[in-house]
Amino acid sequence: MVDYIGIADIQRLVHQIGAGAFIERLAGEIEADYRRWADFEKSARLASHSDVGVIELMPTSDGQLYSFKYVNGHPKNTAEGLLTVTAFGVLADVATGYPLLLSELTVTTALRTAAMSALAAKWLARPASRVMALIGNGAQSEFQAIAFHRIVGIRELRLFDVDAAASAKLERNLRALPELADLAITVCSSTAEAAEGADIITTVTADKRNATIIEPSMVKPGMHINGVGGDCPGKTELHRDILLRADARVIVEYEPQSRVEGEIQQLPADFPVTEFADIVASARSPRRSDDEVTIFDSVGFALEDFSALRFVHALLNEQRDTKRQIDLVPRLADPKDLFGGVLGQASPQAKLRRVA
């Protein structure tokens, strides 16, 4: 039997811990795995692109556990009442190849993306950062707001989305959370208005196109930019001149993948970037000055899903009374007799058919 986490299970796990605490603990797991970066097999994700979206596989292993995530990105889905992003994943034992866990990752991906965003900002943003512009107020935005409030200490959010209903939805959901009672929220009429006075700008838009959500004039010395939405070839959010600023530093997760999918796809292949694992390994603030502009060019990397799957599996194993399993792999008396053990006349399945 293989452990299983569905939507109801992740709802229960998050509600028991609290969304903010869940994201904070998950960020700790991700940071711990980045500290052992050398242990992991690393490869860019395998992507199948179409005119309307992308379907991707994201694998990795640390030699003991193996994981992969299936994830899609289809921006036009919302017009049909469907999610832009859905995902599921598997955690497996390298020694036997047996799957240990089959899990939903639609909700968990949103949680881990927010955890990674806030973790990067904890390292890269100025310590006194308290105001964040949140550009793009769709399905990922609440998770980002909760993470930055909990981990970074953001106390003022400035919101903008081209869809005013999305901003209204985000404000409504955030005001309903007691843990965010001290969070001031302002809905703005433009990206520029939202960015005014912000210490951090988070962009999490969905359109699959080369966009310039953030213009150079909006970026002030000392800002931290958390670019989340530019995450596949032909999809960007930042004007390239922001990346080329003399006072800017660009941090990525896994450089070979980011060169193809991130904001830096706009730049020459030799443009210098720093991988996040090097930041964590340094054990000190990477900021060269308070005026430095830091840019986290986030596309999402398989290690983060590995961390998330390992984390939720551990939580599941703490609650064996509510744990669910599925018969994904047959159990055989003779491992060389797959047919007889599953389809033969003496198999449990055959006996059930005869009883029916």
Query: Domain containing 18 — which CATH number?
Result: 3.30.1780.10
Position 353 in a domain: no
252, 227 Cβ separation under 8 angstroms: no
Residue 350, in any domain of the structure = no
**Residue 168 shares a structural domain with residue 296:** yes
Asked if 232 and 333 sit in the same domain, the reply is: no
Q: What is the pLDDT of residue 324?
A: 94
Please check whether residues 17 and 99 belong to one and the same domain: yes
The Cα–Cα gap between 206 and 139 comes to 10
Instruction: Kindly state whether residues 149 and 284 are assigned to the same domain.
Output: yes
On whether residue 171 sits in a domain, the answer given is yes
In a domain, 312, yes or no: yes
Burial (CB count within 10 angstroms: exposed 0-12, middle 13-18, buried 19+), residue 260? middle
Q: What is the pLDDT of residue 321?
A: 83
- Domain of residue 281, residue span: 126-300
Asked whether 1 and 325 are in contact (CB, 8 A), the reply is: yes
Query: Is residue 352 included in any domain, yes or no?
Result: no
Residues 131 and 173 in one domain: yes
Give yes or no: residues 168 and 79 share one domain: no
Do the domain assignments include residue 90? Answer: yes
At 300, the amino acid letter reads G
**For position 284, what pLDDT does the model report?**
76
Judging by DSSP bridges, how do beta strands 87-93 and 99-104 pair with one another? antiparallel
What's the whole-model pTM score? Answer: 0.94
Whole-angstrom distance, CA of residue 90 vs CA of residue 101: 6
List the beta strands (DSSP E) in the chain: 2-5, 46-49, 54-61, 65-73, 87-93, 99-104, 131-135, 156-160, 184-187, 200-203, 210-214, 224-227, 236-238, 248-252, 274-275, 293-297, 324-326
Is the domain of 42 the same as that of 76? yes
pLDDT in tens, 83-104: 999 999 999 999 999 999 999 9
In a domain, 219, yes or no: yes
> Into how many domains does the chain fold?
2
Active site residues: 231
Would you say residue 119 lies in a domain? Answer: no
CB count in 10 Å sphere of residue 287: 17
Q: Does 164 lie in the same domain as 51?
A: no
Q: Specify the pLDDT at position 320.
A: 79
3-state DSSP call for residue 264?
Answer: helix
Categorize the per-residue pLDDT at 17 as very low, low, confident or very high, splitting at 50, 70 and 90: very high
Phi, psi of 277 (to 5 degrees): -60, -35
Q: Residue 165 belongs to what H/E stretch?
A: helix 164-175
